[in-house]
Chain A
Amino acid sequence: MGKRSRLRAALRDYDLYLLLLPGLAALLIFKYVPMFGAIIAFKDYRLGEGIWGSPWVGLQNFEALLHDDKFYQVLRNTVLINLYKLIFQFPLPIMLALMISEVRNVAFKRAAQTITYLPHFLSWVIISTIFVNLLSPQTGILKDLFHLLGMQDTMMIADERFFRSVLVMSAAWKETGWSSIIYLSAILSIDTQQYEAARMDGAGRFRQIWHVTLPGIRSVIFFVVILRVGSALGNDVEQVLMFYNPLVANVGEVIGTFVYRMGLGNLQYSYTTAIGLFQSVVGMGLIFTANYFSKKYGERSLW
């Protein structure tokens, strides 16, 4: 195709570009302009002088970061919380999907799906209220259990020992059902002949899961793990904000909440932007690394 005819083709499709325009404009304004604005991480941003007028300070903000004990604490909290979520929360949707896929009774199956997906649609404001209510040692529905364990005076949410567990539990409660959908659809796309072959070889139902189902959904599991590793420094800010209280500051403050408090509360624009950049760059690095290893060990790449 010559240059001229390509131009003509583009002109004929001018209305496709019209369709594209508003979405692209929004993307540029709300995603790419802020990326450019992130140069204030290398400046001493002052409200009155704006992005252009504020003086350059080079890597000063990043140096401050490396010498900030508070930052290390926040970083450690963030990584630990995500690690606990990876270990304890991640297997649950796989188990749920395995169970749902085995149910033959359509009505029961539908009920199980409807009910377990529902918490995904509740906001963190609501879920934190539900958990505060649930975990109340005096009036909660689990109070007898707390008494049995000798924990009648323990407010788990306001206790450093339990705060992270509460985060993992509430995240699991919210997302287990919803996250199982992707595994469920992978399980349904496994060729049924494989199960028949396994049965012929005398494999029971448990062995079929081990030898057919799990290998069949391996690539989806890897996919989810890569994404999780990539968000090791990201947190559900809304979740932590809702459960956060001063009593658990040492274990509960994460990067997102720290940036919010220091940035909007203390007006440390440049410093918190530097933290945000650090978070984004490391996150991207982690995704590429995880993807590299996944590819190296014979799995599909993300892209």
Chain B
Amino acid sequence: MRLRTKGEVVYEVCVYTGLVLGILVCLIPVLNIVAKSLSGESYVVAGDVGIWPVHFTTDAYNIVLGSPKFLSSFRNSVLITVVGTLINVTLTVFTGYALSRSRLAGQKLIMMLFVFTMLFQAGIMPTYLVIKNLGLINSLWSLMLPGLVSPFNMIIVRLYFYNIPDSLEESGKMDGASNIRILFSIMMPMAAPVIATTALFCAVEYWNSYFDALMYISDAKRLPLQVFLREVIMSVSDASNNIEMMAQTQVAQESIRGAVVVAATLPIVLVYPFLQRFFVKGIVLGAVKG
């Protein structure tokens, strides 16, 4: 049995109070904005909404979800996220696997090329000029390609492959399988947790990225969700600008902002619990071994 000294009790109290406090700090601002998005206008303006909706209404959602620009930007973001993640993860796995085979000539040099880009970047403007010269301005590709391949993700994946016992590769070789075949049928199934982790990181990054679109996209039809959100949030703060949005109904600005936040975050919150167990395991493995 554990001894309960006074110090022990004080300690336990500290730990649990601290954690409960941390949980509340993370949770309350989110609950508050969700509650505001679902509350009646006068209550929001008066500041009477806590973490539970007052005078429940979905007017703000009708406005946001009914906007054609919302639908098109949502579609763009889904496209960027799905296609971008597929390409990105595929290339990360390919590169990581090739570089995990130490017999590969030039392996060390190429690793250095990747690591160097973590230490030194060319900067915003030279990258912009390359995108421009490739004719990618106003193309959704400009939001998917430049991030290929994240050295950080690649190193984690590489390490994972590196730690898979050689005997597995050799047994594949005995059966006359090519390297590509070995990767697909032996290595990738074994690396599923780390691949899922990488996919989640990539997807979140594509979904949330804003600055790239600000740089490379000006065509309204091609804007991703985050830029649309920002526009809505800025325009509802500016009373002269929000006629289109607010003409029909009495909806508080903060409710519209809240609805926008919820609509953009929901996809992430929905996949999050499923992947959480997976990625915590994956990143812990990477951190300990690395």
Contacts and interface: CB of A to CB of B under 8 A. Distances in A.
A32 B116 CA distance: 10
The interface size bin for chain A is 35 or more
B7 A206 contact: yes
A17 B288 contact: no
Given A38-B126, A103-B15, A117-B276, A16 B32 contact: no
Contacts of A256: 124
Interface of A: 6, 9-10, 13, 15-20, 22-24, 26-27, 29-35, 37-38, 40, 51, 95-96, 99-100, 102-103, 108, 111-119, 121-126, 129-134, 136, 138-141, 143, 173, 176-177, 181-182, 184-186, 188-189, 204-206, 230, 237-238, 241-242, 256, 259-260, 263-264, 269, 272-273, 275-277, 279-281, 283-284, 287, 303
A229 to B, nearest CB: 13
Interface of B: 5, 7-8, 11-12, 15-16, 18-19, 22-23, 25-30, 32-33, 36, 44-47, 49-51, 91-92, 94-95, 97-99, 101, 103-105, 110, 113-115, 117, 119-130, 134, 145-149, 154, 178-180, 183, 204, 207-211, 214-215, 226, 229-230, 233, 254, 257-258, 260-261, 264-265, 268-269, 272-273, 276, 280, 283-284, 287-288
A189 B114 CA distance: 29
Q: Which of B104, B125, B261, B288 has the largest number of chain A CB atoms within 10 A?
A: B125
A19 B26 contact: no
The 3 closest A-B pairs by CB, nearest first: A276-B123, A23-B95, A34-B122
Given A99-B19, A276-B125, A280-B121, A22 B94 contact: yes
B22 A96 contact: yes
B124 A31 contact: no
Contacts, number: 266
A141 B29 contact: yes
A113 B279 CA distance: 12
A237 B124 CA distance: 11
Contacts of B214: 241, 260
A186 B30 CA distance: 30
A187 to B, nearest CB: 11
Contacts of A176: 22
Contacts of A260: 124, 211, 214-215
B149 A185 contact: no
A281 B123 CA distance: 11
B98 A19 contact: yes
Contacts of B36: 133
B129 to A, nearest CB: 6
Contacts of B128: 263-264
Nearest to A137: B47
Contacts of B25: 173
A143 B207 contact: no
A115 B117 contact: no
B58 to A, nearest CB: 19
A61 to B, nearest CB: 12
Contacts of A138: 47
Nearest to A22: B91
A126 B225 CA distance: 11
A138 B252 CA distance: 14
B117 A27 contact: yes
A122 B265 contact: yes
